Amino acid sequence: MNHIFEEIAAERKRQGEKSALDVPMWFNAIEASACLSKATKYKKKLTPFELLLQGIYKILLETDSVKQREELIQTAAVIVQIIEYLDRQILGLEREQKRKEEL
């Protein structure tokens, strides 16, 4: 998991002084949240990307800074889980490719 945080830190450094917080918030979180609710209404289990969107919408709708921070941590954990899953997929594909090359 540490390599993921190293990559995130490197990306944050690459972004430099420019802050995403300097960008005006024009996104309508209420409409976005409603869209996700409609999309997942008939599902019993959300996909990882739907969970990610749900977390983002909760962050956008939350007005309490403490609760917003809690949602950010929870959403960051979902993002790390998705990255770990993708890493396992990539590793599996690389192993499969090596196996085919050896044949």
Tens digit of each residue's pLDDT, the chain (103 residues) = 788 888 888 877 777 765 555 544 545 666 666 666 666 666 667 778 888 888 888 888 888 889 988 888 988 988 888 898 888 888 888 888 888 888 7
Give the 3-state secondary structure of 15-73. Answer: HCCCCHHHCCCCCCHHHHHHHHHHHHCCCCCCCHHHHHHHHHHHHHHCCCHHHHHHHHH
Segments forming the whole domain that contains residue 103: 52-103
Q: pTM score > 0.75 for this model?
A: no
Angle of CA points 45, 48, 52, to nearest 5° = 110
- Please indicate, yes or no, if residue 86 is contained in any of the structural domains: yes
Domain count, the chain: 1
- Please indicate, yes or no, if residue 22 is contained in any of the structural domains: no
- Please indicate, yes or no, if residue 11 is contained in any of the structural domains: no
- Please indicate, yes or no, if residue 26 is contained in any of the structural domains: no
- Please indicate, yes or no, if residue 90 is contained in any of the structural domains: yes
- Please indicate, yes or no, if residue 39 is contained in any of the structural domains: no
- Please indicate, yes or no, if residue 97 is contained in any of the structural domains: yes
Cβ atoms of residues 51 and 78 within 8 Å: yes
- Please indicate, yes or no, if residue 34 is contained in any of the structural domains: no
d(CA 71, CA 62): 9
